[in-house]
Each structure stands twice: as C-alpha cells, then as structure tokens.
Structure 1
Amino acid sequence: MFFRSRYGAVSLKRSRVELTPDFNFCYILFREMLFLSWGRPSPQEQKACIDKSGGVFNYDSKYRGATAKSASSLKDDQELSKDGFALNHARFLVGSGLDTYEKGKTALKTWRHFGLDWAFVDPKTPIQNGAKFCVCVKEFLPWVMMPLQVVYVNESKRAKKTAASFGFGSGTLQGHLLAGEERFSIELDENNQVWYEILSLSKPAHFLSFIGYPYAQLRQKYFAHQSVNAVKKHLSAS
C-alpha cells in the first residue's frame, strides 16, 4: 500500500490512518514509515521523528553493542552474514600526538564528523548511552530523517605505551531505512598515530532500501570519505 499526505505525518495501524502535523511529508510504503522534509529538518521535526519511532530498535537485540568489537572479529562472524548483515569499515590516519587525539575526541563529541552540506546531526545531541537523535540526509529533493539511539560509549585512557581510544555506537530505530549499528571512534596508537574509524553493520529495513541497497552501500562509502575530511578540517582549524 502507498499513501502520501501533504498535511503532516502519517501513521498506519492496521486499517487506521492517523495524521499529525509533524512533517512536511511522511510516506507509508508496505506499512513502513519514511520521514521526509522538503527543507532542512528543524529540531522540532527531528524530535517528532524520534517520538514517532517509539524508541524501538529495528534490529535483533543479540547484535546490540556488536560494533564495540573489532572489525576483524566481525568479519569472521558467520552469523552476521547469515542474518543478512553487511559490514562497512573505514579507517583513516588523521594525524599524530596527544593534542590531535584530544581534538579528535572533541570532534566526535560535537558531531563534527557529520558537519556536511548533505548530512548532519544536531550538534547539541549528547554522546551518552540512551541518547536518541536523527541523522538527516539530503537525497535528491527531500531530506530523509532517520532515528537512532546511542547504545554504548567506550573510552580507554592511555597508560605508558598503550593505546588510548574514544568511541560510541548507535543503533537504528523504527523508521530508519536500514537496520543495524554504527560506531565512530578515534584512537591514539602505540606509535603516537591518530586514527579515525567508522564501523557499521547493516541490512535493508524498508522496501526502498531493499531495492536500492547497492546505492545505500555506495553512499556509506562516500560518507566515510566526506566524514574524515570534516574531521581533518576540524583538526586543522582548532
């Protein structure tokens, strides 16, 4: 079933259709929500999207926190691929030294890695377990709002010659085009080099992402390169 409203958000519960004045557009395709906005989504629209998601994860609880593991261990996890998840991993050298590492931490905590013309997160969103937020992405004409929740925050302090790292993982909520989890992290290794890493596992969660998943995967890779450039820009400016 396909339904479109010009008057607000639409929620389909069995045979009932509800309208709320939260969004410019909300599509229901095969009983799945898709949150759209013709303009850059406002904080009010993002909050309404999060509220509409019900705070319900759209992926299996056994994978909650999975991205806290190393990329190599996830690549060897046969159950992940059996359940339809694809792994996306990118790791970039962004500098060296403790000062660069601390600036990198600040970049993640203030969402500078999402400081793009076509993708953003409200920079006031706290990096803490349980915090809900929207990733807003411009796709062709409309913006797409996708709700997530921070599922863990990990930090290890440097001691002598051991590495230091800071990172957090977020899980997708109902209404997100994909199902899965993504981690962003910054690391100061034993050689004093600073690395920015993105690790995600995902699979389609909406009819549109099923038919357009190759495109979605390309966008993930494109985002990774855009994101590291945003981090480097922050490091060089601060």
Structure 2
Amino acid sequence: MTAPLTYPERGGTRGCLPAGYAHVDRNEPLGRGRPAFEHAARALSAWTMHRRAGLTVTASGPTADVGVVAVLTLGWRRFGILAPCRVVYTVDEPDRRGFAYGTLPGHPECGEEAFIVELTPAGEVRFSVRAFSRHASLLARAGGPVSSGVQRLITDRYVSALRRLARP
C-alpha cells in the first residue's frame, strides 16, 4: 500500500509529542536481564505482542521494518475494525529496540504510535508506548469517550501481553 500517512508529523513520537492530538506516554517494567529483553524485543518486532493483545495482524513483512504495512483488526475479520498503518521508523540499538507506525487512510484514528523495549544499565527491562492521535473516522468521532477508552484498553493489553512474552 503506497497511500500517504494521514498526518504530517512523521516521526513525531521520537521527541515532544505534537500539539493538537491526544497523547499516550506509558513506561512500564517488564522484567529483568538480557534474556527478558531479547524475548520482548523479538515478540515486539514479529507482531506477536499485537496478536497476543487480541488483534489480528496482516502484515506485508514478517517483522516490523520501515515501510512494512500492517492491517490490524480488532474484533472478527468481517465485522472488526480495520486499522491500516505503516512502519515509519525502527530502533535497533544494543539495549533499545522497537518501532513506530503511522496511520494510513481507513484507520479510525490519525497519528503515530511507538513501541520501544529498553534494557536499563541496572538490568531492568522497560517498555514504552508513546503515541499521538485524534479520531479520524465518523465511527471514532461518534464514539467519543468510548473510542478513547478502547485505545486505553488496547494499550493496557499491549503492556500485559509483552510482560508475559518477556519471560525467558
């Protein structure tokens, strides 16, 4: 899918989150040690976290690499909410790994979400989710607070799923 992103602030989750959007900035512990970090980083990159959080993932590549398009589905395929997105950047450092994706046309939201796993110098494995978004579809706008609540629920499920997947 070569469609353009639905927002202009590409890479905006790397620094200060842009104004005019709702923000998510979570940082949660997952475990301790290099094995937990490696397990979490692999599960994140291979879309396993998303699947374990209850989403169906149809991606153009097996791992979250720049340019890979993923259609995330919440609910049943025929009756679910489709959320197309494209990976806009990756992080691949010895003690930090992850990626961010941006929304494509058809996504109920407009914005970007980043997922980063980090091994701290003290040996703690931490997971951060940073996002900026606003409702894009009529359904999301009509849902108002319910749509925002669904986003919070999905973020909670990401954290829980990756915490379980980080166990060596």
TM-score calculated relative to the size of structure 2: 0.89
CA–CA distance in structure 2, aligned partners of residues 105 and 191 of structure 1:
18
Query: Cα offset for 1:213?
Result: 2.9
Aligned length, in residue pairs: 166
Does residue 56 (structure 1) correspond to residue 7 (structure 2)? The answer is no
Find the counterpart in structure 2 of residue 143 from structure 1: 80
**Structure 2, unaligned runs of 5 or more:** none
Structure with more relative contact order (C-alpha pairs < 8 Å, separation 6 or more):
2
- Pairing partner for 2:11 from 65, 78, 98: 65
User: For 2:126, what is the secondary structure of its paired residue?
Assistant: strand
Query: Is the 1:136–1:144 Cα contact (8 Å) retained in structure 2?
Result: yes
Query: Cα offset for 1:122?
Result: 3.4
Q: CA RMSD in A?
A: 2.0
Find the counterpart in structure 2 of residue 235 from structure 1: 166
Query: Is the 1:125–1:133 Cα contact (8 Å) retained in structure 2?
Result: no
Alignment of 1:5-154 (within 5 A): 51=1, 54-60=2-8, 63-69=9-15, 73-74=16-17, 80-81=18-19, 84-116=20-52, 118-122=54-58, 125-138=62-75, 142-154=79-91
Query: Is the 2:29–2:124 Cα contact (8 Å) retained in structure 1?
Result: yes
> Per-residue CA shift, 1:106-126, capped at 9, x if unaligned?
111111211247423237532
Does residue 183 (structure 1) correspond to residue 129 (structure 2)? The answer is no
CA–CA distance in structure 1, aligned partners of residues 43 and 85 of structure 2:
19
- Seq. identity, %: 25
Write 1 or 2 for the structure with the bigger share of helix: 1
Find the counterpart in structure 2 of residue 226 from structure 1: 157
> Per-residue CA shift, 1:158-213, capped at 9, x if unaligned?
xxxxxx21110101001111100000110011211000111110011112212223
CA–CA distance in structure 2, aligned partners of residues 117 and 172 of structure 1:
19
CA–CA distance in structure 1, aligned partners of residues 134 and 48 of structure 2:
26
Q: Which has the larger radius of gyration?
A: 1
TM-score calculated relative to the size of structure 1: 0.64
Query: Cα offset for 1:94?
Result: 0.7
